[in-house]
Chains A and B, each alone.
Chain A
């Protein structure tokens, strides 16, 4: 067996003074034949010693690293330091070098402990933030649903009182007026809860979008029946449809919320019958929700779709300022566009456009 001897590396001086460790191992004998000063210093740090380390020690100290083969591969390794409750993270690049008939594996090592520590701390912070975010979102969802039970109990109790008073012929205008006020406030509070819940799912990105071929005319008929029929003020939603009916590809639930909100606003901010126009054009469906109400002051229009923003002329009219922000989000999630045109004291018109998907053909 030939005695181990140092080889003369090209640019030996340069490598020996490099600030990062370089180790050369002969292949296939696995003997470490060269280590620069930085590599020796690293080995001292890894075995927590001040004594000099020999080339034969390096193979043992860097056992994990020296076992690796592969030309040009880079990997990360975690090396514990004995006696200290700590470790180093090393990034190792292996290179195969031929010198005559001899093959050598060159390991270039970079201490990435500082970077790793930052990464770890960032991952922990992100996980903590994610968990807090989930907790907040779950809390809002739970609170919104839990509020509905007492709200239902209150509204049913009001119904019970009203019915009993009516049956006993005691329901005079005073009772009737105040019972209606309580009842109306309960439903306003319920709308606010729904909006807060919807916005919290949007903000936490927990919202699921389930697109399917949707008959928009049917969605509008459903919401008209569910929310806008038999109004106390006898107003009605005037729906006008033109063009050849086609389905669009969208989330039915979100469409329903978009129209409920816009039509609800049209009723809330006007005294006439709102109009909803469905125009089935050649390449797109144009939906207009129009009222002849208070309108929106021009200075408010740029901020209209921002969360919690409310028009400067709607003081005294209830609302959270969340509805239109939700509407815009849902329209965009369904690849639509929304525009608003308004004139103060003349009325407002919202225009939503959805393009037809190519696979949905015209219906007879």
Chain B
């Protein structure tokens, strides 16, 4: 059975490409355009893993992580954050809020895939 990944990213070009890439590796991909939509989709579909951007409209990645960690049905889903900054503070903040891993933009898919495989294989 295919593993399901919820991809939360507000830039359609990037989310389309990542979706296609993940699908090539046989993942089922659900896409959400912001944190609020991401929380909603996670409650509906219970994905095996979440990949999320940080800076998004409506609900950003940090606040979304908080909602995930406060919800007993979502708190055990691993979350990988995509960050545009390489500042240690930003990465520390994501990890403090409960992220399980991160990659900095731009990234090599191979590296993102290695992290994905750590959690759902």
Contact = CB atoms under 8 A, between A and B. Distances in A.
A163 B112 CA distance: 14
Interface residues of B, number: 22
A187 B104 CA distance: 12
A159 B21 contact: yes
Contacts of B11: 149, 153
A155 B106 contact: yes
B17 A156 contact: yes
A320 interface: no
Interface string B72-93: 0000000000101111110000
- Residue among A148, A149, A157, A183 having the largest count of chain B Cβ atoms under 10 Å: A149
Secondary structure type dominating chain A contacts: helix
Contact of A155 (B82, B87, B88, B108): B108
B45 interface: no
Contact of B106 (A167, A190, A256): A190
A252 interface: yes
B43 interface: no
B58 interface: no
Contact of B105 (A152, A159, A183, A253): A152
A154 B106 CA distance: 9
Contacts of B105: 148-149, 151-152
Contacts of A15: none
B18 to A, nearest CB: 6
A261 to B, nearest CB: 12
Given A149-B14, A156-B17, A253 B108 contact: no
Nearest to A210: B89
Report the 6 A-B pairs with minimum CB-CB distance, sorted nearest first. A159-B109, A152-B106, A152-B105, A155-B106, A156-B17, A253-B88
A145 to B, nearest CB: 5
Contacts of B110: 159
A163 B84 contact: no
A160 B106 contact: no
B1 interface: no
B115 to A, nearest CB: 12
B109 A145 contact: no
B120 to A, nearest CB: 18
Contact of A183 (B24, B84, B86, B108): B108
Nearest to B21: A160
A164 B84 contact: no
Q: How large is the interface on A (under 10, 10 to 19, 20 to 34, 35 or more residues)?
A: 20 to 34
A252 to B, nearest CB: 6
A210 B109 CA distance: 32
A329 B21 CA distance: 41
Interface in B11-32: 11, 13-14, 17-18, 20-21, 24-25
A194 interface: yes
A343 to B, nearest CB: 33
A148 to B, nearest CB: 4
10 contacts: A145-B85, A149-B14, A151-B106, A152-B105, A153-B11, A153-B14, A160-B109, A163-B21, A210-B89, A253-B88
- Residue among B21, B25, B87, B110 having the largest count of chain A Cβ atoms under 10 Å: B21
Nearest to A157: B17
Contact of B24 (A160, A210, A253): A160
Interface in A142-174: 145, 148-157, 159-160, 163-164, 167
Interface string B26-68: 0000000000000000000000000000000000000000000
A194 B105 CA distance: 11
